[in-house]
């Protein structure tokens, strides 16, 4: 009882809100430019009329890049926002919650503003609802000119075309005062076009979904189970199996509005053929040829998706170890094409990923392409996210030095690598064992070292 009373007689300690705070987690993801834009957003009376949030963000800006500082706490911020006032935790929690809401609103607005297609649809719908026919038609005319240019198709593009046709049809229904038979026929054709676009979008998206399921099966050695009641994925297989894809392809080809997209559908149908029979390598080369023929029609996202699909096929164990065809060299060529064509980039990510950098480097070393590996690490390392550049260049230098039998340099570079990434840590643990074997351990010494390593991991 005495201990209980003593505890409650002590001054309340204010927890440092940097720990497990959603606002800080969100702000950590902001680039400097995004942080500046967020400040403008919060300072705008249209989005926020509360001055304390602006002052709070001004203080948080001082900690940009160092949000884990022990100095950053709720009582510290409160004293800066309300100088001379006694700390109030309820007020502080409300401020944090309000600023978090503004941050989420900002992210939603940024996403919306980056999606020109969605913005266009919303604008057209708003103009139609307000009866602004002339302005609507001007925007639609400009949009048709834009559509007539170079097409970079993906499932989202086809879905957008569907929504656009639906929007235009609804506009005509609302604003056409007199409807003749020709007008009705035009509406029917427009509806058919709209749902052909929708069908294209869904078929492509389902093939992509089935590919992801297939990839899980390959990576985790899952058995194929064609039963939708037992595991997710069976339903998609059954739906795709129920569609007459050959007939669909002919309809797409024979319809003027969609004829130009028939070859895009063929690419996905070729991928579907690979998923149904990975042992038939001819299907791989047919798919690859279609991808190369249609690259200019694809969005950046689609280019990356198809190159990743080709790469994953080459990485299948029965292909990678094949004696009939050199899939290692095929894989290396794909990596080069992906690298120099920058097919790893898309609107969501402009950086070369850690996993892709690692895979390219290790394959080059396996194929004894040491000069290429050295130039790759030095020249293309800059395409990594800035926070990974130094780390992965040290990793590359360690792996390359080992191949050149410079074990001291290899260990020196390995020691500079931040081991927060599990796969890099695993690679470097194996590297150290190999160096131990090469330098002094021999088989018995390395076996002992490996046993000690395994015991330490279990602990």
Task: Give the pLDDT confidence of 37-77 residue by residue, as tens digits.
Answer: 999 999 999 999 999 999 999 999 998 888 888 888 888 89
- Whether 320 maps to a domain, the answer reads no
The answer, yes or no, to whether residue 207 has pLDDT greater than 90, is yes
Domain of residue 361, residue span: 352-459
Sign for the pseudo-dihedral over CA of 88, 89, 90, 92 = positive
Mean pLDDT over the full length of the chain? 85
- Whether 33 maps to a domain, the answer reads yes
The answer, yes or no, to whether residue 136 has pLDDT greater than 50, is yes
Give the pLDDT of residue 445: 56
Given 68, 99, 114, the domain boundary residue is 114
Give the pLDDT of residue 148: 62
Predicted confidence band of residue 450 (pLDDT cuts 50, 70, 90): low
- Whether 284 maps to a domain, the answer reads no
- The alpha helices in 62-130, defined as continuous H runs, are 74-81, 89-114, 116-129
Instruction: For the chain, report the end-to-end CA distance as a whole number of angstroms.
Output: 41
- Whether 368 maps to a domain, the answer reads yes
Paired strand residues for 349 = 346
Give the pLDDT of residue 325: 81
Please state, in angstroms and rounded to a whole number, the distance separating the CA atoms of residues 40 and 109.
13
Given 81, 114, 147, the domain boundary residue is 114
Long-range contacts of 187-196 (CB under 8 A, 24+ apart): 190/165, 191/165, 192/255, 193/165, 193/255, 193/257, 193/258, 194/161, 194/162, 194/165, 194/166, 194/169, 195/162, 196/251, 196/252, 196/255, 196/257, 196/258
3-state helix, strand, coil in the chain (%, to 5): 75, 0, 25
Nearest to 226 by CA among 211, 212, 216, 241: 241
Please state, in angstroms and rounded to a whole number, the distance separating the CA atoms of residues 122 and 128.
10
- Whether 171 maps to a domain, the answer reads no
Mean pLDDT of 21-43: 92
> Domain total for the chain?
2
- Whether 358 maps to a domain, the answer reads yes
Q: What is the pLDDT of residues 404-442, one digit of tens each?
A: 999 999 999 999 998 888 889 999 999 988 888 887 655
Give the pLDDT of residue 71: 85
Q: What is the pLDDT of residues 66-82, one digit of tens each?
A: 888 888 888 889 999 99
- Whether 264 maps to a domain, the answer reads no
Predicted model pTM: 0.80
- Whether 248 maps to a domain, the answer reads no
Pairwise pLDDT comparison (84 vs 20), residue with the higher score: 84
Given 114, 135, 169, the domain boundary residue is 114
Please tell me the number of Cα atoms within 13 Å of 50 on its side-chain side.
Answer: 13
Mean pLDDT of 204-210: 93
Predicted confidence band of residue 446 (pLDDT cuts 50, 70, 90): low
């Amino acid at each position: 009882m005495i201990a209980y009373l003593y505890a409650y007689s002590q001054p309340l300690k204010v927890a440092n809100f940097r720990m497990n705070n959603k606002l800080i987690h969100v702000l950590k993801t902001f680039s400097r430019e995004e942080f500046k834009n967020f400040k403008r957003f919060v300072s705008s009376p249209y989005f926020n009329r509360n001055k304390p949030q602006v002052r709070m963000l001004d203080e948080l800006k001082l900690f940009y890049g160092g949000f884990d500082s022990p100095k950053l706490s709720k009582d510290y911020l409160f004293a800066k926002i309300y100088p001379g006032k006694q700390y109030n935790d309820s007020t502080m929690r409300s401020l944090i919650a309000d600023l978090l809401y503004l941050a989420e609103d900002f992210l939603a607005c940024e996403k919306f503003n980056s999606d020109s297609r969605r913005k266009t649809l919303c604008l057209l719908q708003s103009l139609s609802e307000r009866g602004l026919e002339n302005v609507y038609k001007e925007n639609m005319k400009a949009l048709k000119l834009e559509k007539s240019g170079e097409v970079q198709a993906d499932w989202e593009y086809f879905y957008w075309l569907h929504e656009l046709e639906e929007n235009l049809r609804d506009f005509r229904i609302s604003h056409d005062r007199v409807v003749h038979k020709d007008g009705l026929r035009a509406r029917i054709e427009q509806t058919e076009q709209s749902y052909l676009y929708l069908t294209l979008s869904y078929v492509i998206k389902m093939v992509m979904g089935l590919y992801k399921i297939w990839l899980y099966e390959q990576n985790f050695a899952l058995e194929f189970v064609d039963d939708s009641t037992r595991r997710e994925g069976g339903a998609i297989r059954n739906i795709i199996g129920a569609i007459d894809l050959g007939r669909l392809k002919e309809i797409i080809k024979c319809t003027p509005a969609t004829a130009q997209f028939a070859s895009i559908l063929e690419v996905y149908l070729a991928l579907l053929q690979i998923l149904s029979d990975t042992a038939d390598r001819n299907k791989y080369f047919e798919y690859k040829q279609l991808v190369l023929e249609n690259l200019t029609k694809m969005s950046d996202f689609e280019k990356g998706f198809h190159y990743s699909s080709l790469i994953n096929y080459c990485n299948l164990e029965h292909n990678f170890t094949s004696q009939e065809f050199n899939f290692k060299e095929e894989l290396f060529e794909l990596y080069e094409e992906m690298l120099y064509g920058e097919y790893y980039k898309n609107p969501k990510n402009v950086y070369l990923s850690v996993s892709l950098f690692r895979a390219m480097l290790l394959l080059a070393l396996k194929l004894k392409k040491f000069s290429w590996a050295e130039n790759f690490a030095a020249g293309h390392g800059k395409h990594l996210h800035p926070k990974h550049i130094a780390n992965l260049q040290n990793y590359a230098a360690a792996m390359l030095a080992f191949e050149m039998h410079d074990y001291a340099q290899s260990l020196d570079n390995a020691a500079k690598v931040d081991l927060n990434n599990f796969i890099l840590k695993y690679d470097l643990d194996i590297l150290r064992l190999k160096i131990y074997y090469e330098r002094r351990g021999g088989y018995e010494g390395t076996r002992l070292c490996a046993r000690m390593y395994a015991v330490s991991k279990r602990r």
